Amino acid sequence: MQMDRRGREWASWDIDGPAGDVEVTFDGQTWHPLERDQNTVRILVAGPDATGNPTGTVVLPLDRSLAVLRLVDNPEVLVRRAGPIDVVTYQPAPTP
């Protein structure tokens, strides 16, 4: 996924696993709960220059953040790479 540093959008993943709680981390330290609907999970993410973010929005730094999902279904704890989110600066096209 790629988004502009001023943007805010849903990051979503399809999962095939038990019906436990699912969380995501982008920094390897802080886990954020995900919304789950059947086999899809999602979270609202924003770039560092997005404004007016709703509560629960995860603000990502400029550059690449690797999403890692964690699903807890006692006694199992499944941890899987979910892919990168690139936060970039889109430059307007030069005027001829």
Domains of the chain with CATH codes: 2-88 (2.60.40)
3-state secondary structure of 75: coil
This prediction has a pTM of 0.87
With CA atoms as reference, report the closest residue to 46 among 34, 56, 60.
Answer: 60
User: Would you say residue 96 has pLDDT above 70?
Assistant: no
- How does strand 40-46 pair with strand 8-14? antiparallel
Could you give the percent of the chain with pLDDT greater than 70? Answer: 94
The pLDDT tens digits for 21-48 are 899 999 999 999 999 988 899 999 999 9
* 93, pLDDT greater than 80: no
Q: What is the pLDDT of residues 10-21, one digit of tens each?
A: 999 998 877 778
